[in-house]
Structure 1
Amino acid sequence: MQLDEFDRGIIAALQEDARMPVAQVAERVALSATPVSRRIKRLEDEGVIRGYAPVLDPRRLGFELEAYVLINLVAHVDENIARFEQAIADNPYVIACHAVTGDMDYLVRVIARNVEHLSQITLRTLLRIPGVRDVKSIIVLETIKEDRAVPVEI
């Protein structure tokens, strides 16, 4: 999809504040509200904008720990992959999972209440998924940068 300067401006404004009123977005990009509404609808319909969600603070919800878990499968057969991906999709403490290159097969981002909870998630859940060979955890000590915004060249 080809984005013009107005589309990029709209995206930049909504990434800054997805609850920004259309009139305010329109003012920022120097268009009237009606074409901005149409452009937002088109960006949503074409999948550029996939949705809107609040950005939550896990610590304020009782999740004091964040970890990245590296996982290897025993074998890369369809059954193992499907079973693993379903177990990951069903786990509420897994907030992201990526198939990766290198020594490990998956990089999983997990939130937990504390170290004991992380141990339960890792040893009693992730490691017990049929087809998982090994698991390595990396606990986050401090987050330096975390941003979901995608660079939009204007």
Structure 2
Amino acid sequence: MSLDHFDRRIIAALQEDARMTVAQIAERVSLSATPVSRRLKKLEEDGVIAGYSPRLDARKLGFPLDAYITINLQAHSDEIIDRFENEIKGNPYVIACHAVTGEMDYLLHVLARDIEHLSQITLKTLVRIPGVRDVKSIVVLEDIKKSPAIPVQ
């Protein structure tokens, strides 16, 4: 898909504040409201804009502990992979799960209330998923950069 200068500026504006009105976006990108509205509709239809949601502060919602967990499976059979992925999809504390290359099979992003809660998530759920061989945790000490924005240059 090819995005022109105006599409990119519209996307950048929405990434700053998805609650902007069409009129506000139009003013920001130097177009009138009608073409901005048409472009937004096209970006949504094409799946470039997949939805609108608020950015929440996990700390203020009671989840100050941010961790990454790597998982290695015992084997790569369809049954083990399907069981693992279904368990992860059902775990509300796992906010992202990626199948990765390298020494580990999966990288999980987990939110927890505290270290004891992370321990429960790890020892009571993740290591007990049939087919899981290795689990390693990395606790985030400080966010240096945390941006939900995707580069649109």
Sort the TM-score into its range (normalised by shorter chain).
over 0.9
Q: Does 1:60 align with 2:80?
A: no
SS in 1 for 2:59: helix
User: Structure 1 stretches of 5 or more lacking a match?
Assistant: none
Q: Give the Cα separation in 1 of the matches to 2:6 and 2:137.
A: 43
Q: Give the Cα separation in 2 of the matches to 1:61 and 1:29.
A: 34
User: Structure 2 stretches of 5 or more lacking a match?
Assistant: none
Q: How many aligned positions are there?
A: 153
- Aligned-CA RMSD value: 0.7
Q: 1:46 maps to what in 2? A: 46
Q: 1:125 maps to what in 2? A: 125
Q: CA deviation at 1:74?
A: 0.6
Deviations 1:10-69 (A, max 9, x none): 001001111111101111111111111111111111110111111111111111211100
What TM-score does the superposition give when structure 1 sets the normalisation length? 0.97
Matching residue's letter, 1:86: N
SS in 2 for 1:138: strand
Q: CA deviation at 1:76?
A: 0.7
Q: 2:143 maps to what in 1? A: 143
Deviations 1:93-146 (A, max 9, x none): 001111111110000000000011000000110111111111000001111111
SS in 2 for 1:59: coil
Q: Give the Cα separation in 2 of the matches to 1:6 and 1:36.
A: 9
Matches within 5 A, 1:1-150: 1-150=1-150
Give me the identity figure in percent: 73
Matching residue's letter, 1:137: S
Q: Give the Cα separation in 2 of the matches to 1:79 and 1:32.
A: 54
Q: Give the Cα separation in 2 of the matches to 1:116 and 1:40.
A: 45
Q: Give the Cα separation in 2 of the matches to 1:59 and 1:30.
A: 37
What TM-score does the superposition give when structure 2 sets the normalisation length? 0.98
Q: Give the Cα separation in 2 of the matches to 1:59 and 1:112.
A: 9
Q: Give the Cα separation in 1 of the matches to 2:85 and 2:45.
A: 27
Q: Give the Cα separation in 2 of the matches to 1:101 and 1:92.
A: 24
Matching residue's letter, 1:49: I
